[in-house]
Amino acid sequence: MGQRSVILIGNFDGVHLGHQALVTKAVAIAHAQPTPTRVIALTFDPNPTSVLRPGAEPPRLSTFAQRQEWLSHCGVHDVRQLVPVPELLDLSPQAFVDQVLMPLAPVAVVEGPDFHFGKGRAGTPAVLKELGTERGFAVHIEHPIEIDLNDHTLVTCSSTRIRWLLARGRVNDAARVLGRPYTIRGTVVQGDRRGRTIGVPTANVQTDQVFPALGVYAGSVKLPDGREVPAAISVSTRPTFGGNGVRLEAHLLDCPTSPHQPNLPGLPEYGWEIQVAIHSWLRDDLKLPGLDAIRAQISRDIARVRDLATTQHQSRGNNLAHA
């Protein structure tokens, strides 16, 4: 038998505080073993609902690459993608355990109380415990994690809750459940190019992750070279110009460009990866009377973003000073 493992199974969309608690438990179990034991996360991607009920799958909170990064940071040694093909989804709970888990030499499986697996979601925590007893691995079912929101509501950490909060523009509360700001990873593509004509060029972000509610947000952008800069972020239908469809565009502060040299130094104009972290809501998506009003409003938005970025930087400095 090869190296033993502690296994986690799920979608892990967003890798929120509840998911992180499961990883912490799995790591503790692995460390308690008498021989080296790895922690393996088996991650469904895309969501199985996309195969079982196409079009009914929940909006995506994270890419698989993000989940790999965050789970590894929490202590997972190996993040493996489970592609929900019919052959996998049609396995009975017993066959799933025998064909998917047992080759990994499990010493334990860690899950939440709502975990289901196998055809027709027939596998429950009780079924998993029974199969574990028969096949020689332990099953640990962990209690959900609860957290206070800004309005003092106590909620269970879940991907569904995060989507609900984002749909209402409550990005700060979403960050509380996630344990970090909601971050969209995408590709910079060509937009209408209106921003550069008024001195406010934006990066138009193409992604399959869900957007927060329409509005303007303060946040930050991580560039391919690792730099992180403040950004004013618009999630808009562009009502002033009769736009069609929702776009996410980010104006990067302290990254000057010009209409004649619109791309950032060292980067092509389009086609590069961007990571947009959304920190706080600023205002609604507004229809403004013309370019002068747009310029004035954007100037106010940028000033607020800069003030917030300065406050956050000072707060981090104070925290480090007292650490």
Last residue of a domain, one of 129, 145, 161: 145
Tokens 């209402």 label which residue?
A: 168
Are residue 310 and residue 228 in the same domain, yes or no?
A: yes
What is the mean predicted confidence (pLDDT) over 253-262? 64
Written in H, E and C, the secondary structure of 192-215 is CCHHHHCCCCCEEEECCECCCCCE
| 152, part of any domain | no
Are residue 139 and residue 208 in the same domain, yes or no?
A: no
What pLDDT does residue 242 have? Answer: 64
> pLDDT tens across 205-235, in order?
999 999 999 999 999 999 999 999 999 999 9
CATH (domain of 215)? 2.40.30.30
| 153, part of any domain | no
Are residue 47 and residue 104 in the same domain, yes or no?
A: yes
Are residue 188 and residue 97 in the same domain, yes or no?
A: no
What pLDDT does residue 288 have? Answer: 87
Are residue 199 and residue 300 in the same domain, yes or no?
A: yes
pLDDT above 90 covers what percent of the chain?
Answer: 79
Structural domain including 261 reads: 182-321
| 186, part of any domain | yes
What is the mean predicted confidence (pLDDT) over 186-201? 81
What pLDDT does residue 45 have? Answer: 97
Are residue 88 and residue 215 in the same domain, yes or no?
A: no
Are residue 14 and residue 135 in the same domain, yes or no?
A: yes
Last residue of a domain, one of 120, 145, 170: 145
Task: Tell me how many domains the chain contains.
Answer: 2
What pTM was computed for the model?
0.92
Are residue 52 and residue 121 in the same domain, yes or no?
A: yes
| 102, part of any domain | yes
CATH (domain of 15)? 3.40.50.620
Tell me the C-alpha distance between 124 and 186, whole Å: 36
What pLDDT does residue 260 have? Answer: 57
Q: Quick check: 219 and 250 in contact, CB under 8 A?
A: yes
| 162, part of any domain | no
Say which DSSP state 71 is in.
Answer: H
Are residue 188 and residue 265 in the same domain, yes or no?
A: yes
| 60, part of any domain | yes
What pLDDT does residue 290 have? Answer: 83
Say which DSSP state 168 is in.
Answer: T
Tell me the C-alpha distance between 117 and 9, whole Å: 9
> Is the model's pLDDT at 84 over the cut of 60?
yes
> pLDDT tens across 141-166, in order?
999 999 999 999 999 999 999 999 99
| 263, part of any domain | yes
| 80, part of any domain | yes
Tell me the C-alpha distance between 23 and 76, whole Å: 7
User: DSSP letter string over 262-291?
Assistant: -SPTTS-SSS-EEEEEEEEEEE-----SSH
Are residue 294 and residue 245 in the same domain, yes or no?
A: yes
Are residue 229 and residue 141 in the same domain, yes or no?
A: no
